[in-house]
Amino acid sequence: MFDSSTIPPAPSRRRDLLDRKLLNGVLWTAVVVTTLVVMREGKDLFIPLVIAFVAVYLITILSRLAQRIEINRYHLPSAVTMILSFAFIFGVGYALFKLIAENALLVAEAAPGYQTRLIQLQRDLFASVGVAEPMEAREVIRSIDLQSAFTTVASTLAGVLGRVSLVFLYSLFILIELRFLQAKLNALIPDNGRRSTVMLVLKRIDADIHKYLGVKTCISLITALLSYLLMRLVGLDFAEFWAVLIFVLNFIPTLGSIAATILPTLLAAVQFTSLGPFLAVGIGITAIQQTLGSIIEPNLMGETLNISPLVVFGSLILWGYIWGIVGMFLCVPITVVIVIVMSNFESTRWVAILLSKTGQIRSD
């Protein structure tokens, strides 16, 4: 006979369920907070590791593209394309970071002259409309320390360059470890059905991350090249520096594009005495950003970069607090990877939906 006395009353079961959920919530909160504290305190180790993972993905993307090249029906072996891609990514990456660091110092040296010109430009603007310059507006402009800002950028990037050997070693070991991933999964999950399901999810996550980094890198590169040609045509100072900065800032949706447009446009305003170059730089870079970033990129990216602007802003503050300027540059790639991973698991899909822009994520 079925003994109903062994079943606890419904209110008791509900209370136990609520207690378990509350306990799980507290534990997960503790884990997240502890993880963030550890990442902040150990940023000298974690920043090179994250950069290494990004570098490895770029290396594999470039290697796969190189393997598609056919010369007299001959394709380069994967080992050769991987070595060449490794050397190319690290060579170009080092050169770009060095270019930004060196030019940031040059901009910092020229900053006092630009700031003086900016103060004069503001004074002339108020005089042209017949309004006395407010003291508050004058103090705002005087409080902007361009020299200190660009010196900080240069020192931060110099610190990243100083850790390039650590990034190199991390990337090398990650690539070596990838060779044994399949063997480890076979030993870890002997059941063929479960292993096939895990492999399907991992391949989907890997494909989404490759798509995001590949498309984002190409779009950012094209944006930077077109902006560079425009700035060189106008005669803007430090055109190479601004082009590389535009490339990096484009990895931050919305906020990065705005900053990448405003900074060189402000320089054009203080560098030239006529209005033409200012309008050319401002309108030209805006048109490039809107065409590539708002029309072409979403069509290529699909739902991979479907992230809420509020989440972007929040992640910018969070990772900026944890890892400084480098964290600001890495915040969106990290957030995108988190959303991609969580969207591929039923238990965490609700988190990906909350972090998304429209609530639409790819379903199975």
**Two tokens, residue 146:** 């361009």
Residue 351 belongs to some domain of the structure:
yes
* Tens-place pLDDT, residues 32-41: 888 888 888 8
Residue 175, pLDDT score: 87
**Two tokens, residue 74:** 């001959």
347 and 277 in a common domain = no
* Tens-place pLDDT, residues 51-64: 888 888 888 888 88
Name which residue leads in pLDDT, 208 or 157.
Answer: 208
343 and 312 in a common domain = yes
260 and 237 in a common domain = yes
**Two tokens, residue 297:** 């990129």
pTM greater than the 0.85 cutoff: no
- How many domains, in total, are found in the chain? 2
316 and 243 in a common domain = no
The closest alpha carbon to 107, from 238, 286, 216, 297, belongs to 238
Residue 204 belongs to some domain of the structure:
no
Residue 362, pLDDT score: 59
Residue range 183-208: average pLDDT?
A: 79
Give the range of the structural domain holding residue 338, as residue numbers without chain letter: 303-364
Query: Average pLDDT of the chain?
Result: 78
Distance of alpha carbon 262 from alpha carbon 361, whole angstroms: 32
Residue range 115-128: average pLDDT?
A: 73
339 and 297 in a common domain = no
